[in-house]
Each structure stands twice: as C-alpha cells, then as structure tokens.
Structure 1
Amino acid sequence: MKSKILILFVAMGLSGTANMVCGQTTAVPDTLSKYILTPKAPDTPRINGAKVFGVRPGSHFLYTIPATGVRPMSFAVDHLPKGLKVDAETGQIIGSIKKTGEYVVTLIAKNALGEARRDFKIVVGDKLALTPPMGWNSWNCWGNAVSQEKVLSSAKAMVEKGLINHGWQYINIDDGWQGLRGGKHQGVMTNSKFPDMKALADEVHAMGLKIGIYSGPWVGTYAGHLGSYHSVNYHHGKYSFVKNDVQQWMDWDMDYLKYDWNPNDVYHVKEMMDALRSHKRDVVFSLSNSAPWGDASQWEKMANCWRTTGDIKDTWENMNRLGFNQTKWAAYTGPGHWPDPDMLVVGMVGWGPRLHYTRLTADEQYTHISLWALLAAPLLIGCDMAQLDDFTISLLTNDEVIEVNQDPLGKQGTVVKENESVVVYAKPMEDGAMAVGLFNRGEKPTKATVT
C-alpha cells in the first residue's frame, strides 16, 4: 500500500511591504529579496514539468524537455514512438504520431555532473491540455499596446530567464493584434504593430515554445478590433467568418486560442470548436469570460479552459474574491478541461503602455500562486517577462508547486475546512499523496490544524 505524503503550502493574507506611489508600485520593492523561498535548482540535471502530454493522431508535435542544471546539456528519449525525433542539443521533440494509443517514453538529460531520467506519457487521442496550460498572455501588461516586438521580447525572456526549463510553454497574444479582413482566406489580418505574424510564430517555435492568438464571436472585440462576425450590429452579427479566421490562424501555425465575449454561449463555442478540430493542427481552446455555471457540462466537453470569473486585478480584494470562489467547478475539472480563474498578477503589470509592479504584497503573491496551483488552474503569467525580477522568478520556478498544478490526476483542490479567516484546501494527487493548503486570509497570525 502506498504511503501518503502531506505537502503543505502556508500562506498568509495582508502582510508584507511594497513601495507605493499614488496607489501603484512603480518599481520592484527592494524588500522582496528576503521573501524568496524557492531553493536554487541544483547544477546536476533535473527534469521538470508535466508527466503527460496529449496530441491528436497526425497532428504536429512540439514539446521541449524542461530540465534545469548546468549547460551544456544533452538530451535523449528512450522508446520514442515512430514519427517523432528529439534534438540532442535543444531537447525539442518534434514530428507526428499517426497511431492512437499511450506511449510511455523515458526523457534523459545529461551534463558534465550527471544524468536525469524521467518517464513521460504521450497520449495520442482526442484530448489536448491533459494538464493545465502554462504560459504567458499579453493583456495584463500591455493591453491594447501589444506589439510583435513586445511578444517576441517575452518569448526570449521565457527562454533566457529559464522558465522554459520548468515547463512553461505558451506565448499568447491577446486583443490588439487585429487589422482589416483580407488575404487569401478573407480572415482578419494583422495591424501595423504586427508586421509578420508567421515570422513571429516561426521564431517562437524555434525557441521550443508555442504561440497563441485572440478573437471573439462579436463584430468587434473588447479593445475595438474586428471579431469573427460581420454586421452593422456591434455584437453578434449575421455573417460568420469563423472558418476564414481559423484557416488564417492555421497558416500562421497558431497553437492556442483565447475566444472572448460575455456571456459565453453554446452555439458560438461549438462553432469554433468544430472549426478548430477540422484541421490537423492542435489548438488549445480557451473561453473568456465568466462562463455561465448552468452550462458547465458543455464547457467541459467543448473547451480546454474556460474563464469562471471577470478580469483579475492586482489587488488583494480582487484576487482573494476570485481565487477562493472556485470549489463549485471542481466536478468539471480534469485532464483536457480546466476552469480558469484568470491570469497571474505578479511582476510588472499595467494593462497598457505604462507598467507598475503588482500591488500584491509578497505574502499575497504566495497565496495567489499556491492557490492557483491547488486549483489545477491554467497558469498564465500576466507581466512583462523582460522585466522579471528575482522574487517573481522564484514564484514561477518552484518545481514542487508546479508539480501540484501539473499532477496527471487533474483533480481540483477543494475546501475541506473553513474557520473565520483560515481556509484549508486539499487536492488528491496521482501517487496517493494529498496536497494541502493552509491559508490565513486575515491580517493577524493564527493557528490552523489539519488531520
């Protein structure tokens, strides 16, 4: 009988300090370094990230082995299925698998100090996102001021600052890239801020990362750009260009779609799902925002992620309210379908050209990351990656915390005890362990017990 391990996250509410100017922090608080708790990764190789990966038969396969340790490092994979190959220098696995089934391979990373091996399950079937997606999204830092240059900068930073070695994969462009309809598919083309979307996607893929795009089934998006419908009415129009737009995204080699409107409805979700699945390229399908609870069983079947909330802000009141209100979605959480309480508001954010350091204190940020990990929520970084500070990097590269989020069982942590300011969460893990979170949402230290 397997022994059970208790993993504790201890998080407190409203303590810590930050430099404030007119209600916003303008630089990285100089006190944050003393709050770093994540141990430095060893120089010997260690393989991190998810232990399972889903792909459809015949679809393009791209996965970068996430490994920490001193470089140079070489990579290999034992028992790799037919159709795939690994680059020994970069650890990128590419190709395609035609036959459905489960393939257990062994990932291998070597450097001058040693070797690491880890089993990795490739599931070829009809499900994507077998663990919650991990990546970056442009909205919470750049808003409508996003540009090709800024997106590329964030992709480079994800590699150079080492997040790719902990399982972070996606670079997602939010609202603000769209121009007019045109091209051979009459799809929405880019505006002047994105001179060459295909070249951008190629650069991101060459780094071993994936790239995502944004749209919505209204005539116009929230930021005032073209959506996937056409009519004189701003909202749902008479003429659908969904198939046209999807074909254009396929030509650009997109891997992720954020589809954004309110309220989400079954008709437009199914229309987009069918259009995406009609192509060989695998695209993670994410709905935004505030998906109605009454259709939870439909979102579970048709989308890989769906927003359960309105937009998050970098305040304790907002993050606290959104994060601690997810238990009702637990029954619909699992491999391939993840309720989403919105993006991570750590680091330099701003929703536009001017950025500021998050208004969450150090303790509030530990609460934020720990809770999202226990919830099995998608982890999408919302800050300017090029300005990542050491404290934020430490939050985003704690492999024990990431492992809780990426556990293959895919269970959402739920409330098992609540007493005044103390909330206790428990999340069953695949190996029989139980991840437990002890949260103090109040301003004073208090005691919490768990059996």
Structure 2
Amino acid sequence: MRKYVRLTAILILCGWLSSLRAQTDFKSWAGTPPMGWNSWDAYGPTITEPEVKANADYMASHLKASGWQYIVVDIRWYVSNDKAGGYNQTDPIYNLDKYGRYIPAVNRFPSAKDGKGFKALADYIHAKGLKFGIHIMRGVPKEAVAKKMPIKGTSYTADQIYSPERQCEWLKDNYTIDSTAAGAQAYYNSILELYASWGVDFIKVDDLSRPYHQAEIEMIRKAIDKTGRPIVFSTSPGETPISAAINVGQNANMWRMVDDVWDTWPHITHLMKVAEQWYPYIKPGNWPDCDMIPLGRISIRGERGADRMTRLTKDEQYSLMSFFLIFRSPLMFGGDLPSLDTFTSGLLTNKAALKMHKEGTQVKELYQKDGRLAVTSINSKTGERYLALFNISDSVKPLTLSVSLADLGLKKATLTNIWTGRKEGKIIKTIQVSLAPHACKLYSLQ
C-alpha cells in the first residue's frame, strides 16, 4: 500500500513538474521581441500565396540579416470569396476539413490542394531561414456547429461545445467555445495539432483581448503546449485590460495594448498613453504589443483607405519607430515589402536602433505631460543608456524637452544620435533639445 501511495505521489509530482515546465518554457520561444511581417495592413483579408512568397523572398534577401524572421498570414485565409474594404458577411465561402477546422482557400493558396493545408507554404518559408505564422479567430466555426461536425479524437460534435454568448461583434464566422463543455479543450487541441503539422511557428488569435476571454486563452495555451511545437502565441486586438496582466503573461508571448494602429498621428499618441501602464510587464517571453507598423506601401487591398504610401510624415515615422523600439514592442511590419523604399528600409535595418530593441532592459517612462514624452532603457550587455524624447503635442510651435543626467543615473555622458550615428557632444548635467511638433530624438549615452 505504501509503495502504491509513493508511486502515486511521484506520478502526481512528475505531472505537476511537467505542467510547470510547460507554463514557463514557452517564454523562451520569444526571448527577444518577435520581428516579422504581417499581411493585414497591405492586403486585408485577401492575401494570396504568390504575395506571401514575394514578401518572404524580400525579407530573406534584405531583412533577415537584421533579425526579421516571421511571415504571418492574417485574417480569413480560409474564405474563398472575401473582399477588401469590408468583410463579406453575407455569403462567405468557408473551407473546413471533416473535423470542423478551417483550411486554406485553394483558389488563393494553390499549394494547399489535396488537404495539404499550409504545409508547402511553411516549407517554402522555412527553407529561406524564416518562420511562418497565421491568424485565426477564437472559437468554433458557425458552419461546423450548424453541420454538427465531429471533433477529432472524440465522440463529441461542434454543436456540443459552442455558446452564442460573447460572440465577436465585428466578425461572425465563429461562436464562443464554452470552456465547461466536454470536448471544448479537445477542439482547441485538434486545431493546434493541425497547425503544428503544417509547421506553424506563430499564431495570432483575434477577439481575445477586448473583452478579455480568459478561459479560451488558457485553453489555447494548453493546446499549444500539447503539440510539443514552439508556437509563439499572440493575443489580439487590444485593449487588453491591465487587470489581466498576470494571466495574459502566464499564457501568451505577446498581447495587444490597443486596437489597430493605422497611419494617423492620434493612433500613435493614444498608444503612447495606454502604454504607460504596461512598462512593468516588459520582459523576455512576455511583450506588450504596440500593433503592426503601418509604414511603407499599405492598403493595397486593405481595410483603411486606398492603396498608398503611409500618411505619416517622416518626423512621425521616426517617432513611431523610436517608440516601438525603445518600448521593446514586437515589430510586425505592415507594408508591402517588395515595394519598400530606401527611407523605410533604413528605419527597419538601423543597427544601433535594433541593438537597443534587442538588448534593452529596465524600460521606463520618465514623464508624459504637456505634450512631452521621455522614455529610457539600459543595454543589458554594455550598460549603455538609451533615451527617447518626443514632442507629442499638436501645437504648431516647437517644444523644449529636458532630462537631467542624474535621472538617468549618470554624472556625465557622450550623446550619440541613434538614427544618424552622429555624436552630439558631451553632457555634464542636462540633456535639452528643441523638437518640432511630432518629432523625436533617440539617443545613446555612454
């Protein structure tokens, strides 16, 4: 009897340790903020396989050496007849397998024929030394529920695990999964098993953060861990409630702080304000997410406006990139990579800026008031200090911003402009700059 009790205790302990290891191991999959490209800003829900490959080709040739690695296919890759400029809500042609799981639309992704899914496309991307990601909506497809499709590996059907409550307000493809229903976890297990078999490295799950769907987030975490594949987990869209900070950090690698960020200045200043509460949660494996980078050529077939180069001025683009970089947000570029211009390319490949993004630590806001914002961090390897100063005012006049060296823990320093590489002199007491509206300075202090 004692041997049985001891054996039971050992098995319970092993199970607990395995569970604990799974809960922490996933953070090592994104030890630094993920960097990649996402199809949403340029192509909305209409991206095709040749376009994905063209962006992957460009990244492999021009950006991979700078640390960019993820290629992410965004929303509704499973719909054959979707349109740009608004979701086709009335008559979507869905593509599902026999277990009620979405599969790619073959007319848009020809290599998915014969049930291959995204395996061939993922192989193509992996062969270039890159990683592959997809977007999904939380929940179970309404079509799977209506047809009572079976859940793989169980005797349950999709109509037994759904709830019409808290359905996504802006896209009605899916129902909520009732976490208390038998078969609920098995369904999430089945779709993550499918994605892992394709070679998916990154999954962006939409309609999780606002409102916060804790039960489904936890089921997705368990399903990813069960696959044994290191799939980075991103929740979307914002605003993730700060009250959920601990839970989301226990389950996801990155989470959105705001709704979609587009190429308008108010989107950027709103993001900077919301980010104030998230600085303490920036850490390896857990990244508060500023959303995609709406620069370069966007909205080719997108959701906000016509095909265009970003509407942000060059000063505003520097400000956006400086904030994303010093904040250590994941970087998901939204513009069409083959259309990339020299200026935008320079923003994405600046070695000093990317070093700060990768190696920064102790990120904190010094102040945000009267149209002025100051953010600092410290290089974890060299001890180098970083400082970003922003004029976020809508005033037409320049503003003066200042930060004392004492506030940075320094007695003296040499100031280097990170974007230009130009040394701007030695500072003894105070850094003081005059900035035009929406402009910034990004400094290294040594």
Classify the TM-score, shorter chain: 0.5 to 0.7
Is this contact kept in 1: 2:26–2:230, CA < 8 A? Answer: no
Give the structure-1-normalised TM-score: 0.67
Is this contact kept in 2: 1:348–1:355, CA < 8 A? Answer: yes
Per the alignment, residue 102 of structure 2 pairs with 188
1:307-326 aligned within 5 A: 307-326=256-275
Is this contact kept in 2: 1:186–1:244, CA < 8 A? Answer: no
Which AA in structure 2 matches 1:302? Answer: N
SS at match of 1:325: helix
How far the C-alpha of 1:325 sits from its partner, in A, is 2.7
Q: Write the distance in 2 (CA, Å) between the matches of 1:439 and 1:125.
A: 34
Per the alignment, residue 375 of structure 2 pairs with 425
Is this contact kept in 1: 2:374–2:390, CA < 8 A? Answer: yes
How far the C-alpha of 1:330 sits from its partner, in A, is 1.4
Work out which of the residue numbers 55, 61, 68 in structure 2 matches 1:154. Answer: 55
Per the alignment, residue 46 of structure 2 pairs with 145
Is this contact kept in 2: 1:311–1:342, CA < 8 A? Answer: yes
Is this contact kept in 2: 1:300–1:337, CA < 8 A? Answer: yes
Q: Which has the higher helix share?
A: 2
Per the alignment, residue 244 of structure 2 pairs with 295
Which AA in structure 2 matches 1:158? Answer: M
Q: Is the counterpart of residue 218 in structure 1 residue 139 in structure 2?
A: yes
Q: Write the distance in 2 (CA, Å) between the matches of 1:218 and 1:292.
A: 20
Q: Write the distance in 2 (CA, Å) between the matches of 1:369 and 1:125.
A: 27
Is this contact kept in 2: 1:256–1:285, CA < 8 A? Answer: yes
SS at match of 1:250: helix
Distance change in 2, residues 1:268/1:146 (3 Å): same
Q: Deviations over 1:375-418 (max 9, x none)?
A: 110010001111001111011111111111111x644x322134
RMSD: 2.4
SS at match of 2:389: strand
Query: Aligned residues, how many?
Result: 321
Which AA in structure 1 matches 2:192? Answer: V
Looking at CA atoms only, which structure, 1 or 2, has the larger radius of gyration?
A: 2
Which AA in structure 1 matches 2:373? Answer: V
Work out which of the residue numbers 70, 74, 83 in structure 2 matches 1:174. Answer: 74
Q: Is the counterpart of residue 331 in structure 1 residue 280 in structure 2?
A: yes
How far the C-alpha of 1:219 sits from its partner, in A, is 4.1
Distance change in 2, residues 1:323/1:417 (3 Å): closer
Q: Write the distance in 2 (CA, Å) between the matches of 1:323 and 1:284.
A: 25
Q: Deviations over 1:277-319 (max 9, x none)?
A: 1122210000001222211101111100000111111101112
Per the alignment, residue 242 of structure 1 pairs with 188
Is this contact kept in 2: 1:137–1:382, CA < 8 A? Answer: yes
Is this contact kept in 2: 1:131–1:410, CA < 8 A? Answer: no
Is this contact kept in 2: 1:374–1:405, CA < 8 A? Answer: yes
SS at match of 2:222: helix
Per the alignment, residue 381 of structure 1 pairs with 333
How far the C-alpha of 1:187 sits from its partner, in A, is 2.5
Q: Deviations over 1:77-115 (max 9, x none)?
A: xxxxxxxxxxxxxxxxxxxxxxxxxxxxxxxxxxxxxxx
Work out which of the residue numbers 202, 205, 208 in structure 2 matches 1:259. Answer: 205
Q: Is the counterpart of residue 361 in structure 1 residue 291 in structure 2?
A: no
Q: Write the distance in 2 (CA, Å) between the matches of 1:369 and 1:211.
A: 24
Unaligned residue ranges in structure 2 (runs of 5+): 1-23, 80-93, 112-117, 143-150, 152-157, 165-171, 405-446
Which AA in structure 2 matches 1:357? Answer: M
1:89-104 aligned within 5 A: none
How far the C-alpha of 1:329 sits from its partner, in A, is 0.9
Which AA in structure 2 matches 1:356? Answer: R
Distance change in 2, residues 1:245/1:370 (3 Å): same
Q: Write the distance in 2 (CA, Å) between the matches of 1:328 and 1:439.
A: 18
SS at match of 2:227: coil
SS at match of 1:447: strand
Which AA in structure 1 matches 2:126? Answer: H
Q: Deviations over 1:298-347 (max 9, x none)?
A: 11111000001111111011122113431211121100000012111110
Distance change in 2, residues 1:127/1:343 (3 Å): same
Q: Write the distance in 2 (CA, Å) between the matches of 1:276 and 1:141.
A: 29
Per the alignment, residue 61 of structure 1 pairs with none
SS at match of 1:259: strand
Q: Write the distance in 2 (CA, Å) between the matches of 1:323 and 1:151.
A: 31
Unaligned residue ranges in structure 1 (runs of 5+): 1-122, 222-227
Q: Is the counterpart of residue 414 in structure 1 residue 364 in structure 2?
A: yes
Q: Deviations over 1:115-151 (max 9, x none)?
A: xxxxxxxx98862201100001111110011111111
Give the structure-2-normalised TM-score: 0.67
Q: Write the distance in 2 (CA, Å) between the matches of 1:302 and 1:296.
A: 10
Work out which of the residue numbers 217, 220, 238 in structure 2 matches 1:272. Answer: 220
Distance change in 2, residues 1:426/1:219 (3 Å): same
Work out which of the residue numbers 226, 234, 248 in structure 2 matches 1:286. Answer: 234
Per the alignment, residue 121 of structure 2 pairs with 200
Distance change in 2, residues 1:220/1:141 (3 Å): farther
Is this contact kept in 2: 1:135–1:168, CA < 8 A? Answer: yes
Q: Is the counterpart of residue 449 in structure 1 residue 396 in structure 2?
A: no
How far the C-alpha of 1:429 sits from its partner, in A, is 2.2
Q: Deviations over 1:17-62 (max 9, x none)?
A: xxxxxxxxxxxxxxxxxxxxxxxxxxxxxxxxxxxxxxxxxxxxxx
Q: Is the counterpart of residue 404 in structure 1 residue 371 in structure 2?
A: no
SS at match of 2:196: helix
Deviates more, 1:139-148 or 1:347-356: 347-356
Q: Which has the higher strand share?
A: 1
Is this contact kept in 2: 1:423–1:440, CA < 8 A? Answer: yes
1:337-356 aligned within 5 A: 337-350=286-299, 352=301, 354-356=306-308
Which AA in structure 1 matches 2:67? Answer: G
